[in-house]
Structure 1
Amino acid sequence: MGGGDAAGGTGGKQANDRLGSWFVRSGWSKGELARQVNRRARQMGAHHISTDTSRVRRWLDGEQPREPIPRILSELFSERFGTVVAVEDLGLRAAHQPPGASGVDLPWAAPQTVALMSEFSRSDLMLGRRGFLGASLALSAGPALVEPMQRWLVPTPAGPGGTGREGAARQDRSGHPVRLSGPELDLLDTTTVMFRAWDAQCGGGLRRKAVVGQLHEVTDLLQDHHPEAVTRRLFKVAAELAELAGWMSYDVGLQPSAQKYFVLALHAAKEAGDRPLGAYVLSSMSRQMIHLGRPDDALELIHLAQYGSRDSATPTTQAMLYAMEARAYAGMGQVNKCHRAVRMAEETFTDSRPEEDPDWIGFFSEAELNAENAHSYRDLAYVAGRSPTYASLAEPVMARAVELFGADPGHQRSYALNLVGMASVHLLQKRPEEAAGFAGQALDVAGRLRSERVNTRIRRTADTALRDYGEVPEVAELSDRLRVELPDDCESAAAQAV
């Protein structure tokens, strides 16, 4: 048993009833929770963590584990119950954090944005492999998340030229200010486009560190003095890279890190004066809240994005925001509003002009539109008690998404996610054989990806199938494949790259 998860003091312990309550409701055994903790620790790079059933028993008996265990438990229970379960909710003590180390309520000013991006990306690069970065963060939700983001729309007074420390511009050896040429700026844009394509094709685990490193280099450039147009362009690149770093972190299961990058990306988009890009960042934050079972927060973020970009976003971006609005309404069980948002997404997408779109919205194709709307119907089916009516609405739309993504080698992760979505729709329709077939296809694709999100969805869908239809041969065969090809307690491929 590794020393990293030992407790502080053990004298005078009382049973931790809060942790015990969450544990009982989870349905996990002590061994299963220990395996989940170990797997998440490896994803964070905290290889010194090695928990077993006796250690879990001691936590339930009142022992206080040291970081990063409390944060890991918070993430695991949050995902299990589809809502944010704070460290304190588990009866555990959160580590004291210096100002700015956690939380999302950051100063909306260029110098602070640059400093925070530089500090956070450097910490991720230098400390993330040892697990300390993830241990220092906590997810924000509700008003603590939404209210600070509303300040994205508040105008800020223009500061003096440059964002350098104490107003000093760095100079080269000849004593001249550092200057960037047009081709150099173009290369930064091209590199960001390349990273985005790699993420779509291979998943977030393969190149996450490279994106974080590139972000750190750009924030380094932002500490020099530049003409205003160059500074804005650098902030735009920083915003795109920070959003992508957040998206990749989300994809490999590092939820607190993902949220921090998204927040920094929104700050950078504000400094760039790019409202549509800021709306895109807010949509990524909304997706994360849907994933965490917070559709009300997701809806607030999407409405903020729509309001802030209503006069500047292209039809493609507007259609994407409507589709995300539908996802949020579906999670809330708001049937009529969900249908209206789906219809608005479809109608607005007909006005899409890809040649006018920025690269970051290029993912929102006909395939993605169908995928989002199908998942909205699928989510309505779950909220309505596994309604076959909404499942039947989801099936043809999801089938179209699968067909289109299957023909697109550049979006293999989306292909896998929609194969899993198709499997879940068949489970809702009580067709376990077909569900197992689609989940098996998703497993084939997952072997070529570095995406913990894909792996987790396959596991969850297979677990549901096994629980409800374990006697069906195709389901039993899928379960056997999972034990060999995607064991739950293995060190995931994503963890190796994180």
Structure 2
Amino acid sequence: MPGQHRPTNAYLAGLIAEAEISHGALARMVNQLGRRPEHGSLDLRYDSSSVNRWLRGALPTPPAPTLIAAVLSHKLARTIDPGHLAGGDAFLELPANTDETVRAATGLWHQAAHRRDALRYPFVSQAGPQAGWRWAFGSADAAVIGRGTRGVGMSDVQRLRTARDDFADLDRRHGGGYARSWLTDFLDREVTPLLHGRYRDAVGTALFSIAANLTETVSYMAFDDGEHGLAQRLSIQSLALAKHSGDTAFGAYVMSNMAAQLVFLGDGRTAAQMARAAACSAGQVSGPLLARIYTTEARGHALAGDTRGCRNALAQAEHAMNTDGMAPAWLGASSFAHQAGSAMHCLHDLGLHTEAVRHSTAALDLPHDSIRARALHEIVLARVYLGLRDVDRSCETARPALHSALQLRSRRLRERLHEYASALAAHRKHPAAQAWRAEAREILAAA
């Protein structure tokens, strides 16, 4: 609300908003719970002003955090960890220097590895743009130096690069839910000791860069697995690692991924703005990376219904894709097929189905190991055919994607399949639609 300070404890603020209760109501519920004998028959007198203080970081002494967590756990039907409340949620902030960055990144990795049952963080819509602004305009430490006892060298960095390639391949072939726990364990066990080790600037810069890369890889896995709040926090910490390593190109890539998550969550306008900010802040980067960023911007414009903005961004993406320049090894989805799939999705969102189908051949011209990308493109094309009222061809196109759900641990794909099934309900009397929906019930239950 106007005139209010932005809460320091963004995690608590997000939980209160998700629970849809007022500050006064939360205070009353905490007071009532504290009066019960099992909690000590406490005479608590918290009010809405107390909650405002909690949001500014001044949580009361125990057992109040336990009572607050119990109230919110009841309202949200899941367990809220009081320890998270007491510390706020610093993982939504972009750390200011290398020491803070190491503490924040390794702390988040540790929580992700050891407290998976408590990692249902809310997605905070403005946290990404705010972190992006600090990435673009904030200062970075002049040197990346570790003063620990364990010596770290370029051989350690190369080992992490090899691991990153392996994890990225597992994600592409099997979905984000397949190897996410392995990668979080790897970050906690293998990368944390290196960041706390001894290294000088050249090694430190390379170490921060590959740590950013691995963190963004697990963030993308979390996004694909439906853990949007965790994915957001991981991306912000990846952005910080990239900033202090001086890797502007990778920072822009992280920004584009955060914008893509906003597209998936339905905030096209903010996504387009964030992708545009990434393009403006990226500096001199390769054509394929710039094309990826502009394509994400186009997706945001299309979702927001801005046809002109979408077409302009798609034209810029096409121009960038046709310029010279090698795609960085970490870029992933940067081929003409991925660009065509995104263009097809944009035109579908704008209701331009006849134009969208012209991109279908190129969109499905993917490498054999791009299993998830192919399935997602097939679902978009099936939606396009529904827009053209070709139900038979739509169901035929969606069937391979449905079967891919059996081998992919991707909540994103499953959600797209459920969306398609809902769209198909308008044609429920069509024999092809009836057959597809019956098959979908069986396969999605198994998946």
2:314 paired residue among 332, 342, 362: 342
Equivalence for 1:170: 149
1:2-151 residue pairs with structure 2 within 5 A?
66-67=72-73, 70=76, 97-101=85-89, 104-128=92-116, 131-134=117-120, 137-142=121-126, 144-151=127-134
Equivalence for 2:280: 307
Equivalence for 1:370: 340
Code of the residue aligned with 1:109 in structure 2: it is N
Equivalence for 1:255: 228
Code of the residue aligned with 1:391 in structure 2: it is H
Q: Following TM superposition, by how much is the alpha carbon of 1:106 offset from its aligned partner in structure 2, in angstroms?
A: 3.6
Provide, for residues 362-401 of structure 1, a one-character-per-residue CA deviation record: whole Å limited to 9, x for no partner. 43101101011111111111xxxxxxxx111111213321
1:196-275 residue pairs with structure 2 within 5 A?
196-216=168-188, 217-275=190-248
Code of the residue aligned with 2:166 in structure 1: it is M
Return the alpha-carbon distance in structure 2 between the equivalents of residues 239 and 232 of structure 1: 11
- Give the secondary-structure state (helix, strand or coil) at the position aligned to 1:207: helix
Equivalence for 2:9: none
Provide, for residues 181-203 of structure 1, a one-character-per-residue CA deviation record: whole Å limited to 9, x for no partner. x3332221111112112211111
Equivalence for 2:421: 462
Q: Following TM superposition, by how much is the alpha carbon of 1:120 offset from its aligned partner in structure 2, in angstroms?
A: 1.1
User: Residues 161 and 225 of structure 1 are in contact (CA less than 8 Å); yes or no, is this contact kept in structure 2?
Assistant: no
Return the alpha-carbon distance in structure 2 between the equivalents of residues 342 and 160 of structure 1: 38
Q: Once the two structures are aligned, what percentage of the paired residues are identical?
A: 25
Return the alpha-carbon distance in structure 2 between the equivalents of residues 72 and 477 of structure 1: 37
Instruction: Tell me: CA distance 1:349–1:160, structure 2 relative to 1, closer, same or farther (3 Å).
Output: closer
User: Residues 100 and 106 of structure 1 are in contact (CA less than 8 Å); yes or no, is this contact kept in structure 2?
Assistant: no
Instruction: Tell me: CA distance 1:292–1:223, structure 2 relative to 1, closer, same or farther (3 Å).
Output: same
Code of the residue aligned with 2:374 in structure 1: it is Y
- Give the secondary-structure state (helix, strand or coil) at the position aligned to 2:223: helix
Equivalence for 1:79: none
- Asked if residue 442 in structure 1 is aligned to residue 401 in structure 2, the reply is yes
Instruction: Tell me: CA distance 1:325–1:184, structure 2 relative to 1, closer, same or farther (3 Å).
Output: same
Return the alpha-carbon distance in structure 2 between the equivalents of residues 190 and 69 of structure 1: 44
- Give the secondary-structure state (helix, strand or coil) at the position aligned to 2:170: helix
Q: Following TM superposition, by how much is the alpha carbon of 1:105 offset from its aligned partner in structure 2, in angstroms?
A: 2.4
214-223 vs 108-117, greater mean Cα deviation: 214-223
Equivalence for 2:162: 190
Provide, for residues 335-362 of structure 1, a one-character-per-residue CA deviation record: whole Å limited to 9, x for no partner. 1121111111112111143xx3321114
Q: Following TM superposition, by how much is the alpha carbon of 1:312 offset from its aligned partner in structure 2, in angstroms?
A: 2.2
User: Residues 379 and 420 of structure 2 are in contact (CA less than 8 Å); yes or no, is this contact kept in structure 1?
Assistant: yes
- Give the secondary-structure state (helix, strand or coil) at the position aligned to 1:156: coil
Q: Following TM superposition, by how much is the alpha carbon of 1:314 offset from its aligned partner in structure 2, in angstroms?
A: 0.5
Instruction: Tell me: CA distance 1:268–1:71, structure 2 relative to 1, closer, same or farther (3 Å).
Output: farther
Instruction: Tell me: CA distance 1:109–1:98, structure 2 relative to 1, closer, same or farther (3 Å).
Output: farther
Equivalence for 1:475: 433
1:361 paired residue among 317, 331, 343: 331
Instruction: Tell me: CA distance 1:459–1:66, structure 2 relative to 1, closer, same or farther (3 Å).
Output: same
Equivalence for 2:353: 391
Code of the residue aligned with 1:277 in structure 2: it is F
User: Residues 292 and 334 of structure 2 are in contact (CA less than 8 Å); yes or no, is this contact kept in structure 1?
Assistant: yes
Q: Structure 2: where are the runs of 5+ without partners? A: 1-18, 22-69
Code of the residue aligned with 1:369 in structure 2: it is Q
427-436 vs 417-426, greater mean Cα deviation: 427-436
- Give the secondary-structure state (helix, strand or coil) at the position aligned to 1:140: coil
- Give the secondary-structure state (helix, strand or coil) at the position aligned to 2:419: helix
Code of the residue aligned with 1:484 in structure 2: it is E
- Asked if residue 153 in structure 1 is aligned to residue 125 in structure 2, the reply is no
Instruction: Tell me: CA distance 1:102–1:432, structure 2 relative to 1, closer, same or farther (3 Å).
Output: farther
User: Residues 417 and 442 of structure 1 are in contact (CA less than 8 Å); yes or no, is this contact kept in structure 2?
Assistant: yes
Provide, for residues 24-47 of structure 1, a one-character-per-residue CA deviation record: whole Å limited to 9, x for no partner. xxxxxxxxxxxxxxxxxxxxxxxx
2:292 paired residue among 320, 326, 333: 320
User: Residues 344 and 381 of structure 2 are in contact (CA less than 8 Å); yes or no, is this contact kept in structure 1?
Assistant: no
Equivalence for 2:47: none
Instruction: Tell me: CA distance 1:226–1:366, structure 2 relative to 1, closer, same or farther (3 Å).
Output: same
User: Residues 201 and 410 of structure 1 are in contact (CA less than 8 Å); yes or no, is this contact kept in structure 2?
Assistant: yes
Code of the residue aligned with 2:201 in structure 1: it is E
Code of the residue aligned with 2:290 in structure 1: it is Q
Return the alpha-carbon distance in structure 1 between the equivalents of residues 331 and 315 of structure 2: 20
Provide, for residues 412-466 of structure 1, a one-character-per-residue CA deviation record: whole Å limited to 9, x for no partner. 0000001100111111112222221112121122222111111111111012202
Provide the aligned length of Structure 1 versus Structure 2: 380
Instruction: Tell me: CA distance 1:242–1:68, structure 2 relative to 1, closer, same or farther (3 Å).
Output: farther
- Give the secondary-structure state (helix, strand or coil) at the position aligned to 2:275: helix
User: Residues 205 and 245 of structure 2 are in contact (CA less than 8 Å); yes or no, is this contact kept in structure 1?
Assistant: yes
Instruction: Tell me: CA distance 1:370–1:328, structure 2 relative to 1, closer, same or farther (3 Å).
Output: same
Return the alpha-carbon distance in structure 2 between the equivalents of residues 266 and 458 of structure 1: 31
Q: Following TM superposition, by how much is the alpha carbon of 1:155 offset from its aligned partner in structure 2, in angstroms?
A: 4.5
Provide, for residues 160-191 of structure 1, a one-character-per-residue CA deviation record: whole Å limited to 9, x for no partner. 7624xxxx5214xxxxxx232x3332221111
Code of the residue aligned with 2:421 in structure 1: it is A
Instruction: Tell me: CA distance 1:267–1:69, structure 2 relative to 1, closer, same or farther (3 Å).
Output: farther
- Give the secondary-structure state (helix, strand or coil) at the position aligned to 2:369: helix
Return the alpha-carbon distance in structure 2 between the equivalents of residues 158 and 307 of structure 1: 22
Q: Following TM superposition, by how much is the alpha carbon of 1:411 offset from its aligned partner in structure 2, in angstroms?
A: 0.5
Return the alpha-carbon distance in structure 2 between the equivalents of residues 480 and 139 of structure 1: 34
1:419-434 residue pairs with structure 2 within 5 A?
419-434=378-393
User: Residues 297 and 313 of structure 2 are in contact (CA less than 8 Å); yes or no, is this contact kept in structure 1?
Assistant: yes
Instruction: Tell me: CA distance 1:99–1:307, structure 2 relative to 1, closer, same or farther (3 Å).
Output: farther
Equivalence for 1:57: none
- Give the secondary-structure state (helix, strand or coil) at the position aligned to 1:262: helix
Q: Following TM superposition, by how much is the alpha carbon of 1:66 offset from its aligned partner in structure 2, in angstroms?
A: 4.8
- Taking only aligned residues, the RMSD between alpha carbons, in angstroms, comes to 2.5
Return the alpha-carbon distance in structure 2 between the equivalents of residues 157 and 293 of structure 1: 32
Equivalence for 2:252: 279
- Give the secondary-structure state (helix, strand or coil) at the position aligned to 2:359: helix
Q: Following TM superposition, by how much is the alpha carbon of 1:98 offset from its aligned partner in structure 2, in angstroms?
A: 3.1
- Give the secondary-structure state (helix, strand or coil) at the position aligned to 2:323: coil
Provide, for residues 277-329 of structure 1, a one-character-per-residue CA deviation record: whole Å limited to 9, x for no partner. 000000110010001111121122112211111x3211111111111111111
